[in-house]
A and B are shown apart, each in its own frame.
Chain A
Amino acid sequence: AQTVTQSQPEMSVQEAETVTLSCTYDTSESDYYLFWYKQPPSRQMILVIRQEAYKQQNATENRFSVNFQKAAKSFSLKISDSQLGDAAMYFCAYRSFTSGTYKYIFGTGTRLKVLA
């Protein structure tokens, strides 16, 4: 069975600094997608970034980038130039689509605090 592990329940970063959130996963499938979602206090789940497993190039979205290590099954999120608005829960998620069926597995989340 697939699993997603976020080993950091909470992280803090100084405003304007860089922080990396960790995520590891386990799967025997070869084709899948990985996502990072942000959940601010408003509760809304917001897609931050996605990575296709078949792509070697790491995804980037403005100040957000990932370090995808497929062999190590690692998918970390780097936030550069942290802003107060980045404070939220961050969830790593795995998705596969096999035989017409989706599997979505979410990690337990990392709470990011941004210090002014």
Chain B
Amino acid sequence: DARVTQTPRDKVTEMGQEVTMRCQPILGHNTVFWYRQTMMQGLELLAYFRNRAPLDDSGMPKDRFSAEMPDATLATLKIQPSEPRDSAVYFCASALGTGDQETQYFGPGTRLLVL
């Protein structure tokens, strides 16, 4: 049963600290998405990659957020420095990118609390 995995599941940190969230997409999937879910804004697309290349990160605050795919099995989302307003659930999703046809599958999310 192929699944997207995310670590950590929960993270509590203090304002100003660096936070790194990791995602392992489903093996063979070449498209990876990062989302943020908050009560106020709902689910927002932050960035996505295809074949490890960033295609769109327009939804991501550029000054403190960065997303990378060091290899095909790992995607990372970093926040440095973190702020209380970054508290949210961050989801990774992956898809077998066949253009218009693909469906994305979500990981369990990382719940981040910045104090």
Residue numbers of A with Cβ under 8 A of B are 31, 33, 35, 37, 42-47, 50, 91, 93, 97, 100-104, 106-109
Q: Residue on A with the closest CB to B99?
A: A97
The answer to whether residues A107 and B42 also contact, given A47-B105, A50-B103, A97-B100 and a CB cut-off of 8 A, is: yes
Q: Is the CB of A43 within 8 A of B56?
A: no
Q: Is the CB of A47 within 8 A of B103?
A: yes
Chain B: interface size category? 20 to 34
Binds A, one of B20-28, B69-77, B106-114: B106-114
- Tell me the residues in window 36-84 of chain B with beta carbons closer than 8 Å to chain A beta carbons: 42-45, 48, 55-56
Contact check: which of A45, A97, A101, A109 meets B106 at CB < 8 Å?
Answer: A45
The answer to whether residues A43 and B103 also contact, given A102-B48, A104-B33, A106-B43 and a CB cut-off of 8 A, is: no
Q: Which residues of B contact A109 (CB under 8 A)?
A: 42
Q: Is the CB of A44 within 8 A of B106?
A: yes
Contact check: which of B33, B48, B93, B109 meets A43 at CB < 8 Å?
Answer: B109
Bound CA–CA A106/B35 (angstroms): 11
Q: Which residues of B contact A107 (CB under 8 A)?
A: 42
Contact check: which of B43, B55, B107 meets A101 at CB < 8 Å?
Answer: B55
Q: Which residues of A contact B99 (CB under 8 A)?
A: 97
Q: Which residues of A contact B111 (CB under 8 A)?
A: 43
Q: Which residues of B contact A43 (CB under 8 A)?
A: 89, 108-109, 111
